[in-house]
Amino acid sequence: MWDRVNQSSPSSTLNSIIASVFAIKSESEYFWLARGVHFIAIVCAAITVGATLYFIAGSIGLYVQNSDTVISWILTALPWVLLAGTGWAIWKRLSYRAVLPALGLCGAFVFYLVWDDLSRPIPPELGVVVSEGDPSFRTYRWLLKDDPQNRLSEESKKPELPRLTGSQDEWASIITQNRRDFEEAWTNDTLGRAWVDAMAAHTPEGIFPPQGVKGPSLSFSILRRHCTIRWGIAHSLLLDGQNDEAARTLLPLLRASYHLQQGGSSLVTQMIANVAIHGTFARLELILTANNLSPAMKSEIAGVLRGAPAIQLSIKNAFLGEHVVVRSSVDAMKSGYTELADTFKLAAAWNDADHNYDVLGIPILVHLFFNPHRFEREYSDFLDEACKLAQQRKLDRLSETTILSWRLKNPVGQLLTAMTLPAFQKVFVRFWETEDQRLAFLRRLEP
């Protein structure tokens, strides 16, 4: 049999090694084993070449605008082209001179793409976390969805109130026309009023225990309705000339919001607190403009405003919660394929990519584009930098172009990072605007 082997041929040399290793004694055995090894090599090469082509096409689709139609056709046709090419290579007994380099190069490239960091980044330092018995935390839990200690069942379906939108002159008209509805809502809003009073009465000793991506979250709808009612009642008192009473109605919500900022350990919680403060400031501006407050009330308002937590603390708590969210998200991705595939599609949709990604039923194809541990490390570094710049009011320096340049490794993780930047910039601009308004109020209230 060895006389038939041309030792100068790489394919023949490989076949000779196969025959030697498996102790082939007959020409028939040699033929079928060689064909089987060749078949496996062709299939492996086809898989790695296909994964490489899929990654190239998918990456172009993620980054290049208006490429949807072409890329969708490529991704749809790719499996059929690979199937036909594999069949042709097996039928023609494609030489190992072509098969092995393709397998080696594309296999190494695919391995590089799917290789993830071996270890995860160190979890963020949480600092002081309040105990279960902390009064402010117990109150906070009243409005937490999916929390066993919530009191949301007490809040039955209540009639809608008119939204206080438009200019301040329009607010006065809306409240005048619907005054009875606001007064009735104020009387019946027992949970909202109790929550604000209790939250205003207790300063958190630290941050509330951070929640992951699927953890309990604050019911914004109930708090928003309460804010609307309280703002309406305060405006009604202002229209009646009861300026001190109008301000006194607003101050508990302001204290509660400041305590929520001190304890809140998520971006969403901090945003809800800021919305409540911003709306309260709009009504406080009307009261101060009327210029009919007693000296004692002016002093009380100034005292509440001075009790606001530093804006840097609010920003720190917001980003701390984002660290926890991304860590819990990666945990979910590692435990369930659906979350991983949804992450890929989220990034694709954000960058206006609309391609046929149905083949993501094979998890390794997702890992070509996304490495969970690497993403967590890079995103954590991004959060640290963004937090520092936001605290310095320089978040505009963190340009989207610096995190959205074309690269091979972990492109979906890069897109997920880039998609958060505009939201961060918008949110923390509002935080600083609210802080500016607080300081302006204090200057106006100085004797």
pLDDT tens-digit series, residues 182-209: 999 999 999 999 999 999 999 999 999 9
Domain contains 344: no
Q: Is the pLDDT of residue 28 over 70?
A: no
* Residues 56, 175 within the same domain: no
55, 88, 114 - which closes a domain: 114
Q: What is the pTM of this model?
A: 0.82
Query: So what's the pLDDT on residue 403?
Result: 56
pLDDT at position 24, please? Answer: 53
Specify whether 125 is located in the same domain as 100.
no
Q: Which domain holds residue 301?
A: 119-335+371-447
Q: Is the confidence at residue 304, as pLDDT, over 90?
A: yes
Which of 375, 272, 343, 344 has its CA nearest to residue 314?
A: 272
Segment 51-71 mean pLDDT: 74
Residue 22 has pLDDT above 80, yes or no: no
| pLDDT of 441 higher than 90 | yes
Q: Is pLDDT above 90 for 11?
A: no
For the chain, the average pLDDT equals: 83
Judge contact between 161 and 228, C-beta under 8 A.
yes
* CA distances in angstroms from 176 to 182, 185, 229, 282, listed in the order given: 10, 15, 13, 18
Question: How confident is the model over 127-140, as a mean pLDDT?
Answer: 92
What is the model's pLDDT at position 432? Answer: 96
* pLDDT greater than 80 at residue 155: no
User: Model confidence at 91, in pLDDT bands (50, 70, 90)?
Assistant: confident
Q: pLDDT category, 335, cuts 50, 70, 90? A: low
- Annotate 392-418 with DSSP letters as a single string: TT-GGGS-GGGS-S--SSSHHHHHHHH
CB 207 within 8 A of CB 128: yes
Q: Can you give the pLDDT at residue 340?
A: 56
Q: Is residue 58 part of a domain?
A: yes
Predicted local confidence at residue 244, as pLDDT = 95
- 288 and 425 housed in the same domain: yes
Dist CA 107 CA 45 (whole Å):
8
Q: Does residue 344 have a pLDDT over 60?
A: no
Task: Give the end of a domain, one of 56, 79, 114.
Answer: 114
Q: Is residue 273 part of a domain?
A: yes
- DSSP state for residue 241 in the 8-state scheme: T
For 227-276, write each residue's pLDDT tens digit: 999 999 999 999 999 999 999 999 999 999 999 999 999 999 999 999 99
Residue 360 lies in a domain: no
Q: What is the pLDDT of residue 347?
A: 53
The SS3 assignment for 217 reads strand
69 & 173 share domain: no
Rounded to a whole number of angstroms, the distance between the first and last alpha carbons of the chain is: 108
pLDDT, residue 53, reads: 87
pLDDT tens string 174-184: 888 889 999 99
Is 362 contained in some domain?
no
Are 97 and 161 found together in one domain?
A: no
Q: Is residue 64 in a domain?
A: yes
* pLDDT bracket for residue 163 (50, 70, 90): confident
Q: Is 207 helix (H, G, I), strand (E, B) or coil?
A: strand
Write down the pLDDT at residue 5. 39
Domain co-membership, 202 together with 216: yes
Instruction: Give the residue-averaged pLDDT of 415-419.
Output: 81
Q: Is residue 382 part of a domain?
A: yes
* Separation of CA 302 from chain center: 37
pLDDT range class, residue 94, cuts 50, 70, 90 = confident
Determine the pLDDT at residue 256: 97
**For residues 333, 336, 338 and 343, what is the CA-based torsion angle, rounded to 10 degrees?**
0
For residue 346, is it within any domain? no
pLDDT at 341: 57
- What pLDDT, on the 0 to 100 scale, is given for residue 38? 81
Share of the chain above pLDDT 70, in %: 81
Among the residues of 144-266, which ranges form H helices?
168-177, 179-188, 190-201, 220-239, 243-263
What dihedral angle (degrees, nearest 10) is formed by the CA atoms of 180, 185, 188, 193? -130
Calculate ∠ Cα 94-100-105, nearest 5°.
130
Whether 133 and 156 map to the same domain: the answer is yes
Same domain, 32 and 171: no
What pLDDT score was predicted for residue 62?
A: 72
Average pLDDT over residues 134-143: 94
Q: How wide is the angle at C-alpha 277 spanned by C-alphas 287 and 441, nearest 5°? A: 45
Mean pLDDT of 1-29: 52
Token pair listed for 300: 């009380």
pLDDT confidence of residue 57: 80
Distance CA 234, CA 196 (A): 15
pLDDT at 348 (0 to 100): 55
State whether 212 and 101 are in the same domain. Answer: no
* Mean predicted confidence (pLDDT) in 102-129: 90
81 and 141 share one domain: no
- 261 or 93, higher pLDDT: 261
Helices 220-239/243-263 angle, 10° precision: 160
**Bigger pLDDT: 7 or 182?**
182
Do 188 and 328 belong to one domain? yes
Q: Which of 5-19, 301-315, 377-391 shows the lowest per-residue confidence on average (mean pLDDT)?
A: 5-19
Domain boundary among 94, 114, 134: 114
Please tell me the total count of domains within the chain.
2
Residue 6: what pLDDT? Answer: 39
The SS3 call for residue 129 is strand
Q: Are residues 46 and 157 in the same domain?
A: no
